[in-house]
Amino acid sequence: MLVPKSHIAAQSATAYRAVVKKGPLSTDKDKVVQIQRVGKRVSAATEKYLRQHGYGDLASQLNWEFNLIENEQQNAWCMPGGKVMFYTGILPYTQDDAGVAVVMGHEIAHAVAGHGAERLSQQLLLIGGAVAVSELAEDSEYRDAYLVAYGLGGELAAILPYSRLHETEADQMGLIFMAMAGYNPQVAVEFWQRMAAEKNGVMPAFLSTHPSDKKRIRQLRKFMPETMQYYNPAQ
């Protein structure tokens, strides 16, 4: 972690507002309400989980926001501080609230686990080596690195993928978050199977940073017995 948490928080808020301003935000009321409805439940479950496991300080720093951009890109992401963005292009794959919860939980897990901050540190090492972060902070390459690290670089030449460890952690934590929110975690297997079946020859942005394969689905099934203990369908 080469970047102070305070700096990441400030950059996150600035970057998120820029994305919202650029938009265009979806005007489909039903879809927007769905993202916000699921977001409210999964975020509440996430805070509950964090407090139960001794991360109350982190939970108190989360200032949630959920938005939906009208764009065919099949993508979603969450920045530090709880800033979540979905793209309408991924909704045909999520299909319903439970499917949205799969993506929501997974992306929130990446954020609260600090995976984006680790990717940002990797990017800074590639760009500046031993150059001080304070110097890079004012550099345009640093800003590009920030966008790439948090999955906002769909228009950039390359998006740095999460490591396998990051993906496994986000899968496992995401299942728990959605289960605690009252969504059946078994739906996650079906979602990733739909994403893996993409056959139009174009790699979805979501898969470029979140590789989907048979191993991932096997791992999801392996996590399921433990995860189902958190599932409360009465939510």
State percent of the chain over pLDDT 90. 45
Does residue 160 contact residue 171 with C-beta atoms inside 8 Å? no
Among the residue ranges 58-62, 111-115, 153-157, 184-188, the one predicted with the least confidence is 153-157
More confident residue, 193 or 119: 193
Helices (H), the chain: 5-22, 29-52, 56-60, 91-94, 97-112, 115-128, 133-136, 140-149, 164-180, 187-196, 205-209, 214-228
Q: Which positions are annotated as active-site residues?
A: 107
What is the DSSP pairing of strand 65-69 with strand 83-87?
A: parallel
What pLDDT, in 10s, does the model give residues 52-86? 999 898 888 889 999 999 999 888 988 888 999 99
What pLDDT, in 10s, does the model give residues 96-145? 999 999 999 999 998 888 655 656 655 555 555 444 444 544 544 455 55
The residue type found at 95 is Q
pLDDT confidence of residue 81: 84
pLDDT confidence of residue 132: 44
CB atoms within 10 A of CB 214: 10
pLDDT confidence of residue 159: 42
Nearest partner of 143 among 120, 164, 113, 122, judged by Cα: 120
What pLDDT, in 10s, does the model give residues 14-46? 888 888 999 999 999 999 999 999 999 999 999
pLDDT confidence of residue 13: 76
Ranges of each domain in the chain: 5-116+159-228
Tell me the C-alpha distance between 171 and 177, whole Å.
10
